[in-house]
Amino acid sequence: MSTAQPVIRAERLTKTFGPVRALDGLDLEVAPGEVHGFLGPNGAGKSTTIRVVLGLIRASGGHVELFGGDPWRQAATLHERLAYVAGDVALWPGLTGGQCLDVLGATQGVLDETRRADLIDRFELDPTKRVRDYSKGNRQKVALIAALAADVELLVLDEPTSGLDPLMEQAFQEVVRTRREQGCSVLLSSHILGEVEALADRVSIIRRGKTVTTGTLAELRRHTRTHVHAVTVDEPAGLADAPGLTDWSSERLDGHIESRFSIDADHLDAVIGQLHHAQIHTLTVTPPSLDDLFLRTYDEEVPLHDVPGLEQPEEALR
Amino acid sequence: MRATGLRTMLGVHWRTHRSGTLVWILALIASMVGTAAAVAGLYTTPEKIHTYAAAVTTGSALVAINGRVEGIDSLGGVIQDESGFLMALLLPLLGISLVAKVTRREEEDGRLEAVLGGRVARYVPVLAGLIDASAAILVTALAFTLGITFCGVPAVRSALYAASLGGLAFVFAGLAALVAQITRHSRGVYAWSLLVLTVAYLLRGVGDVTKTWVTWLSPLGWAEKAAPFGAMRWWTLLIPLAVGGLLCAAAVLIAGRRDLGSSLVRGRPGSARASAWLRSPVGLATYIHSPAVLGWLAGALIIAGMMGALAKQFVGAVTGNPAMADAIGMSTAHPEDGFVAVTQLYIAIIAMGYAVQAVGSLRGEETAGRLEPRLSGTLSRMGWIAAHGLVIVTGLVIIVAVSSVVLAASTAWSMGTPLHLARVIGAGAAYLPAELLVGGLALALFGLWPRAFPAGWAVFAIVAFIAFLGPGLKLATWVLDLAPTTHIGNPPLGTVKALPLIVLSALAALLAATAAVGFRHRGVPRG
Ligand SMILES: Nc1ncnc2c1ncn2[C@@H]1O[C@H](COP(=O)(O)OP(=O)(O)OP(=O)(O)O)[C@@H](O)[C@H]1O
Ligand SMILES: [Mg+2]
pLDDT tens digits, B245-292: 999 999 999 988 877 766 555 567 889 999 999 999 999 999 999 999
**pLDDT for residue B107:** 77
Q: Indicate whether residue A46 lines ligand 1 (CB < 6 A).
A: yes
Determine, yes or no, domain membership for B60.
Answer: no
Ligand nearest to the CA of A46: 1
B72-B311-B48 Cα angle (round to 5): 25
With an 8 Å Cβ cutoff, are B377 and A79 in contact? yes
Span B163-210, pLDDT tens digits: 999 999 999 999 999 999 888 777 788 888 988 998 999 899 889 988
Distance of CA B425 to the CA centre of its chain: 23
Q: Whose CA is nearest to atom 26 of ligand 1?
A: A42
Determine, yes or no, domain membership for B66.
Answer: no
Determine, yes or no, domain membership for B79.
Answer: no
Kindly list the residues of chain B whose beta carbon comes within 8 Å of any beta carbon in chain A.
Answer: 184-185, 267-274, 278-280, 284, 287-288, 368-370, 372-381, 383, 521, 523-525
**pLDDT for residue A141:** 95
Which of B265, B284, B312 represents a domain boundary (last residue)? Answer: B265
Q: Are B242 and B108 in contact (CB under 8 A)?
A: no
Q: Indicate whether residue A44 lines ligand 1 (CB < 6 A).
A: yes
With an 8 Å Cβ cutoff, are B376 and A132 in contact? no
- Whether residues B188 and B241 share a domain: the answer is yes
Q: Indicate whether residue A51 lines ligand 1 (CB < 6 A).
A: no
- Whether residues B282 and B331 share a domain: the answer is yes
Q: Indicate whether residue A45 lines ligand 1 (CB < 6 A).
A: yes
Span B302-321, pLDDT tens digits: 889 988 888 888 788 777 67
Q: Pairing between strand A20-30 and A8-17?
A: antiparallel
| B326-341: average pLDDT | 77
Type and span of the H or E element at A155: strand A154-158
Determine, yes or no, domain membership for B47.
Answer: no
- Whether residues B455 and B494 share a domain: the answer is yes
Q: Pairing between strand A280-286 and A225-232?
A: antiparallel
- Whether residues B190 and B305 share a domain: the answer is no
Closest CA to A103 of B242, B288, B231, B304: B288
Say whether pLDDT at B501 is over 90: yes
Question: What's A28-56 look like in SS3?
Answer: EEECCCCEEEEECCCCCCHHHHHHHHCCC
Chain B residues lying within 8 Å of A93, measured CB to CB: 185
Q: Whose CA is nearest to atom 16 of ligand 1?
A: A45
A58, A76, A103 member nearest B279 (Cβ): A103
Say whether pLDDT at B336 is over 80: yes
Average pLDDT, chain A: 88
* DSSP characters over B225-260: HT-TTTT--GGGGHHHHHHHHHHHHHHHHHHHHSPT
- Whether residues B405 and B506 share a domain: the answer is yes
* Amino acid, res. B199: V
Q: Report the alpha-carbon distance of residue A162 to residue A87 in Å, rounded.
A: 9
Chain A residues lying within 8 Å of B269, measured CB to CB: 96, 126, 128-130
With an 8 Å Cβ cutoff, are B279 and A84 in contact? no
Give the confidence band of B391 by pLDDT, cuts at 50, 70, 90: very high
Q: Indicate whether residue A209 lines ligand 1 (CB < 6 A).
A: no
Which of B217, B237, B265 represents a domain boundary (last residue)? Answer: B265
With an 8 Å Cβ cutoff, are A109 and B184 in contact? no
Say whether pLDDT at A317 is over 50: no
Say whether pLDDT at B455 is over 70: yes
Q: Report the alpha-carbon distance of residue A231 to residue A253 in Å, rounded.
A: 9
**pLDDT for residue B332:** 66
Span B34-89, pLDDT tens digits: 999 999 998 999 999 998 898 888 777 788 888 999 999 999 999 999 998 889 99
Q: What percent of chain A has pLDDT over 70?
A: 92
Q: Residue B189: give the domain boundaries.
A: 1-37+84-265
B384: closest CA of chain A, how far (Å): 11
Does A132 contact chain B (CB < 8 Å)? yes
CB pairs under 8 A between A and B: 112
Q: Report the alpha-carbon distance of residue A112 to residue A152 in Å, rounded.
A: 10
Dihedral sign (CA A47, B112, B125, B106) = positive
Determine, yes or no, domain membership for B22.
Answer: yes
Q: Whose CA is nearest to atom 24 of ligand 1?
A: A42
- Whether residues B192 and B292 share a domain: the answer is no
Q: Which residues contact A296 (CB under 8 A, 6 or more apart)?
A: A302, A307
Determine, yes or no, domain membership for B23.
Answer: yes
Give the confidence band of B433 by pLDDT, cuts at 50, 70, 90: very high
User: Residue A159 C-alpha to ligand 2 middle, in angstroms?
Assistant: 7
Span A215-272, pLDDT tens digits: 998 887 777 778 889 999 988 888 878 888 888 888 888 889 999 988 887 888 888 8
- Whether residues B458 and B421 share a domain: the answer is yes
- Whether residues B507 and B431 share a domain: the answer is yes
**pLDDT for residue A309:** 46
- Whether residues B404 and B500 share a domain: the answer is yes
**pLDDT for residue B2:** 64
- Whether residues B287 and B252 share a domain: the answer is no
Does A151 contact chain B (CB < 8 Å)? no
Give the confidence band of B327 by pLDDT, cuts at 50, 70, 90: low
Locate the ligand 1 atom nearest the alpha carbon of residue A15 and give its number.
12
| B349-376: average pLDDT | 94
- Nearest chain A residue to B370, by CA: A90
User: Residue A17 C-alpha to ligand 1 middle, in angstroms?
Assistant: 9
Tell me how many domains chain B contains: 2
A58, A102, A129 member nearest B274 (Cβ): A102
With an 8 Å Cβ cutoff, are B523 and A56 in contact? yes
Determine, yes or no, domain membership for B171.
Answer: yes
Which of B265, B300, B332 represents a domain boundary (last residue)? Answer: B265
- Whether residues B314 and B236 share a domain: the answer is no
- Nearest chain A residue to B375, by CA: A56
**pLDDT for residue B517:** 96
Q: Report the alpha-carbon distance of residue A187 to residue A197 in Å, rounded.
A: 14
ipTM: 0.83
Q: Report the alpha-carbon distance of residue A318 to residue A168 in Å, rounded.
A: 45
Say whether pLDDT at A316 is over 80: no
With an 8 Å Cβ cutoff, are B274 and A98 in contact? yes
Say whether pLDDT at A143 is over 50: yes
Say whether pLDDT at B217 is over 50: yes
Say whether pLDDT at B241 is over 90: yes
**pLDDT for residue A312:** 46
- A296 or B183, which is more confident: B183
pTM of the predicted structure, to 2 decimals:
0.85
Specify the length of chain B in residues.
Answer: 527
Determine, yes or no, domain membership for B215.
Answer: yes
Q: Indicate whether residue A87 lines ligand 1 (CB < 6 A).
A: yes
With an 8 Å Cβ cutoff, are A108 and B377 in contact? yes
- Whether residues B230 and B292 share a domain: the answer is no
Chain B residues lying within 8 Å of A51, measured CB to CB: 372, 523
